[in-house]
Amino acid sequence: MDLRINDTAPDFNAKTTEGEISFHNWIGDSWAVLFSHPRYNTPVCSTELGEVERLRPEFEKRNVKMIGLSVDTVDETSSWLDDIKDITNQKPAFPIIADTSMEISKLYNMLPTSLEGSSDGRTAMDNQTVRTVFIVGPDKKIKLHLTYPMTTGRNFDEILRVIDSIQLTSAHPVATPVNWQKGEDVIIKPSVKNDEAKKIFPDGWKEIKPYLRKVPDPSK
């Protein structure tokens, strides 16, 4: 299944380290970040899971739920959590999906659908494409997906920055420029013509080009 931005995130039922879930029901009215791992006891992913737990209060401020996925059993993943605490001083308290059948990895286009069998006997290298981040909105639509190589740790500060941008631009007719950080000036969408923009932004804007009009962050 070739997933794109604005596609509905496929729903599924799964066992996790926090019990069984139905994905769409679990999201509810929140936002969600689903991030996947090729195998338990892998070094880069250990650092990532600890970092996500450290940043969990920041995600919660934004009404974002975190959920991991690994192609391991619940017991295998649970045994990994103490190692993560040793490595990062953080023990993940968010659910991690046990995708032993690899059905969810295939459903989300992380592994070929023609692949047969279970995760039993497979190595992290066999599953190296299972290194993806999905941001899903309360409408259950995919807002972003990124796939990383095994040797590159993910930047979850960047994921937070993207969430800030997506949440802002879903509520206001603006876009965010390069390297934007929350609170900085934003761009009026080109689809908003000047007559309409005057009503939405009565204090005016700074025109760099006719198609590039900057205004203060409207969420401030």
Angle at CA 57, nearest 5°, toward 215 and 218? 10
Catalytic residue from among 11, 45, 126, 164: 45
Question: Where are the extended beta strands (E) located within 54-211?
Answer: 64-70, 96-98, 132-136, 142-147, 174-175, 186-188, 206-209
Locate 174 and state its tokens. 């603006």
45 is catalytic: yes
Q: How far is CA 189 from CA 185, 195, 199, 212, in A?
A: 13, 13, 14, 8
The answer to whether 65 touches 94, Cβ cutoff 8 Å, is: yes
Whole-angstrom CA distances from 44 to 27, 48, 117 are 27, 6, 26
Contact, 121 vs 96, CB < 8 A? no
Q: Which of 7, 75, 139, 157 is catalytic?
A: 139
Inter-axis angle of helices 156-171 and 43-61, nearest 10 = 30
In this structure, is the dihedral angle defined by the CA atoms of residues 144, 149, 154 and 158, taken in order, positive or negative? Answer: negative
Measured distance CA(13)–CA(20) in Å, rounded:
7
Residues with a catalytic annotation lie at 45, 139
